[in-house]
Amino acid sequence: MNTKANWKLTVLSLGVGMIWGMLPLGLAQTTEPVQAVKPVTGTRQSLAIQYPEGANLGVRFQGTFRDPEASGMAKVERLKGTTKIHIDLAGLKPAAFFGGDYNTFVLWTVSPEGHVDNVGEFILEGNKSKLNVTTHLETFGMFVTAEPHFLVSSPSRFVVLENSAPKQDITAGIIRTAEITYRGFDGSYNFDRESLENFNRTKGETRSDLAQAETSIDLAMRSGADKYAPKELAAAQEDLQKA
């Protein structure tokens, strides 16, 4: 896909994200059973680690039952009030293997207060992926979810990897668990399977730009965008056709 097409897809995703944000929260009660707009509050436990200033800490990621063979390592360094995170993942299968609406993987940080942030998308090269991001947080947990597109604002329930406690605690014992409480669309996305345990890995780069854009529009349409944001929906559909 050329640079121009990629740019259009980015704009398209932004436009559809705006459409999604404009939809009323009560829409699920005003339309026929539309799985994509079922609002649910999900609660999870995540290990929050405090990263002291100047320290360089290695943290392992462990795969969940969604993809048990997945694993990873994060190198976390906090300098001058900014936390730099470099993550290497391995053993992942494409999110599209879950079927339905899932297309990509997103990294989330979560504060002890339960605030979650979408901090980046993983693009697979075979079964591996790398990501370099920063956060202002000093104490936080990290996890990776399968998502329909990279601009989601709430994590899905398809958590594929979670950070674990470092083997050597150089934080003087300052490791605690934080309860993640977030409003998401738990159970709202269509899927064909809950786990990728018995699926083979792939080779080569796995890009899902078009699939993400198509799913974004599909989710918007299933949520009534043709009624609540027809102009924005038409513009997004036109950009997709051009791409």
**What is the band of 27 on the pLDDT scale with cuts at 50, 70, 90?**
very low
Instruction: Write down the mean pLDDT value for the chain.
Output: 79
Rounded alpha-carbon distances, angstroms, from residue 37 to 26, 117, 158, 179: 9, 21, 16, 24
Average of per-residue pLDDT across 27-55: 56
Is residue 129 within 8 Å of 92, Cβ to Cβ?
yes
For helices 209-222 and 230-242, give the axis angle rounded to 10 degrees. 160
Q: Is the pLDDT of residue 33 over 70?
A: no
Strand partners, 73: 60, 88
CB 71 within 8 A of CB 88: no
Query: What pLDDT shows up at residue 102?
Result: 96
221/22: higher pLDDT: 221
Q: Which two tokens stand for residue 35?
A: 């799985």
Residue that wins the pLDDT comparison between 83 and 32: 83
Q: What is the pLDDT of residues 98-125, one digit of tens each?
A: 999 999 999 999 888 888 899 999 999 9
Distance CA 143, CA 111 (A): 12
Of residues 239, 240, 217, 212, the one with CA closest to residue 229: 217
Look at residues 183, 187, 137, 191 and name the one whose alpha carbon lies nearest to residue 163: 137
- pLDDT at residue 6, as a whole number: 52
Mean pLDDT across 33-58: 65
Residue 110's alpha-carbon distances to 106, 115, 163, 200, in angstroms, are 13, 5, 11, 31
Residue carrying the six token digits 């899932």: 102
Q: Most confidently modeled of 7-16, 164-173, 229-238? A: 229-238
State mean pLDDT over 153-165: 89
Amino acid letter, residue 119: V
